[in-house]
Structure 1
Amino acid sequence: MLTLSAVCKRYPTGDLALTDIDLALPRGQVMALIGPSGAGKSTLIRCVNRLVEPTTGSIRLNDTEITRLSSGKLREARRTMAMIFQEYALVDRLTVMENVLSGRLGYVGFWRSFLRRYPQETVTEAFRLLERVGLAHALDKRADALSGGQRQRVGIARALLQSPKLLLVDEPTASLDPKTSRQIMRLIRELCAERELAAIINIHDVALARQFADRIVGLRAGEIVFDGKPGELTSEILTTIYGEEDWDTQATEDERYAPPSAQPLAPLARTGQLAPGLTAGGIR
């Protein structure tokens, strides 16, 4: 479905952000991009829809060569590549429903959207999506009155209203608490399964990537250093991706914050050791 061949990105400063990236993403697969800050994860996602122009290489979505499209054809192609942003990218003064409907801007044009004149089938689908993401009760609320998790759900509904073939997701849990992060990742995973959507998710939380992705790709200094299933992500590979760390004893965010009755994420390892600063009775 999506194929990247020898994709490189060099900025005018001379910095090389991506080096010879080769990836093939089939329909319906959820792929997590992990790696340290500055590894090139966000750049890779933005090269796919050409928010960042790749310097060399080929990016194909089905039969369309994305890197060769004119500006007009690129706008059409972007309809099929919906993006979910870390900072939500909502218009705060607009309602939840208005923000979701903005997902059809690429189809209805500026003036119809400005005058709020959307086809009835679009409005009906927006209602259905808001119900699916759990926000049917909040459709008339202004975006700036929502919590972080609710804002991210609006972003997800807006992206799906584009009827995309591919989701590009940039740090969807960066500003969220651990419980909400799991809910958002679970929602994205379920929606991809329901619609047979492929997704690339840039995420820092390795535990969430392990739990919700079909495949994990690790980047370091703009190069792919791991590409495999979540169960293949060993401590040695994590060291290759991120550098030296005692991965066998580091507690995951889920272990630290989940209530005792919650089902924990698969940990990197279980050693019985407490996190620094903790005692059996709590914080010392």
Structure 2
Amino acid sequence: MLTLTGVGKRYPTGDRALTDIELTLPKGQVMALIGPSGAGKSTLIRCVNRLVEPTQGSIRLDGTELTKLSGHKLRHARRSMGMIFQEYALVDRLTVMENVLSGQLGYVGFWRSFLRRYPQEAVIEAFRLLERVGLPHAIDKRADALSGGQRQRVGIARALLQSPKLLLVDEPTASLDPKTSRQIMRLIRELCAERELAAIINIHDVALAQQFADRIVGLRAGEIVFDGLPSDLTSEILTTIYGEEDWDTTPEPMDDEVSGDEATNTAPINPPYARVMSSIEAGAAR
């Protein structure tokens, strides 16, 4: 479905963000990108939909060479790629429904979107999606009245209204508490299964990646240093990706009932690496 061959990105400053990325993502697979800050995870996702221009290589989606497209053809190709952002990218003064319907921009054009002139079938599908993500009661609420988890659910519904083949997900849990983070990752995973969507998810929380992804790709300094199953992660591989850490410290318990989707933007809480290893071992046991 999606194939990256020799993809690289070098900025005008000379800094290299990506080096010779080779990836193939089949239909329906959920891939997690992990790695330290600055490893190139967000850059890689944004190169796929050309929000960042790669400086070399090939990116093909269902046989279409994305790096050669421009103008109308690029906008048309982007319909197939739904983007879910770290900071939600909602318009605060608009309602939940209006934000979801903005996912139709690639189909109806700017002016029809600006004038809120959407096809009836798009409005019906937006209702269905809001019900599916658990927000049927919030249709008329302004986006700035929502909690962090609710805002991310709106972003997910908006991305799905494009009827994409591929989801590009950039740090969907970075501003959420641990319980809401798991809820959001579980929702993304379920929706991908229901709709046979492929997904690339940039995520810092390795335990969440191990729990919800089919495949994990580890980046370090713009290069792939691991590509395999979640159960294949070991302390040695994690050290290769992140550098030296005490991966075997006793894990700390976490109360799964503390706070939830009604919490407003809570500071991100990254689990100790020991809990990551505990989760990995549990996944292998399954």
TM-score normalised to structure 2 length: 0.90
Q: Take 1:103 and 1:118, find their aligned partners in 2: how far apart are those partners?
A: 11
Distance 1:250 1:171, change over 3 A: farther
Q: Take 1:257 and 1:8, find their aligned partners in 2: how far apart are those partners?
A: 42
Q: Counterpart in 1 of 2:159?
A: 159
Contact 1:249 1:269 in 2 (8 A): no
Distance 1:267 1:21, change over 3 A: closer
Contact 1:178 1:257 in 2 (8 A): no
Q: Counterpart in 1 of 2:26?
A: 26
Question: RMSD over aligned Cα, in angstroms?
Answer: 1.7
Q: Take 1:122 and 1:129, find their aligned partners in 2: how far apart are those partners?
A: 10
Q: Counterpart in 1 of 2:284?
A: none
Output aligned runs, 1:180-199, within 5 Å. 180-199=180-199
Q: Counterpart in 1 of 2:202?
A: 202
1:269, CA displacement in angstroms? 3.5
Q: Take 2:256 and 2:234, find their aligned partners in 1: how far apart are those partners?
A: 23
**Amino acid in structure 2 at the alignment position of 1:219:** L
1:248, CA displacement in angstroms? 1.4
Which runs of 5 or more residues in structure 2 are unaligned?
Answer: 259-273, 280-286
Output aligned runs, 1:1-284, within 5 Å. 1-249=1-249, 251=251, 255-259=253-257, 267-269=276-278
Contact 1:211 1:266 in 2 (8 A): no
Q: Take 2:275 and 2:174, find their aligned partners in 1: how far apart are those partners?
A: 20
1:116, CA displacement in angstroms? 1.1
Q: Take 2:134 and 2:62, find their aligned partners in 1: how far apart are those partners?
A: 32
Contact 2:179 2:257 in 1 (8 A): no
Specify the SS of the correspondent of 1:151: helix
Deviation per CA, 1:109-138: give whole Å up to 9, x if none: 122111111111000000000000000000
1:258, CA displacement in angstroms? 2.8
Which deviates more, 107-116 or 225-234?
107-116
**Amino acid in structure 1 at the alignment position of 2:63:** D
Q: Take 2:31 and 2:255, find their aligned partners in 1: how far apart are those partners?
A: 25
Percent identical residues: 84
Specify the SS of the correspondent of 1:204: coil
Contact 2:5 2:23 in 1 (8 A): yes
Q: Take 2:22 and 2:276, find their aligned partners in 1: how far apart are those partners?
A: 30
Q: Take 1:123 and 1:250, find their aligned partners in 2: how far apart are those partners?
A: 50
Kindly tell me the number of residue pairs found equivalent between the two proteins.
Answer: 265
1:63, CA displacement in angstroms? 1.3
Q: Counterpart in 1 of 2:269?
A: none
Contact 1:21 1:223 in 2 (8 A): yes
Distance 1:56 1:267, change over 3 A: closer
Contact 2:84 2:159 in 1 (8 A): yes
Deviation per CA, 1:11-48: give whole Å up to 9, x if none: 00000000000000000000000000000000000000
Contact 2:206 2:276 in 1 (8 A): no
Larger Rg: 1
Distance 1:133 1:269, change over 3 A: closer
Q: Take 2:224 and 2:27, find their aligned partners in 1: how far apart are those partners?
A: 21
Which runs of 5 or more residues in structure 1 are unaligned?
Answer: 271-284
Distance 1:60 1:141, change over 3 A: same
Q: Take 2:210 and 2:113, find their aligned partners in 1: how far apart are those partners?
A: 39
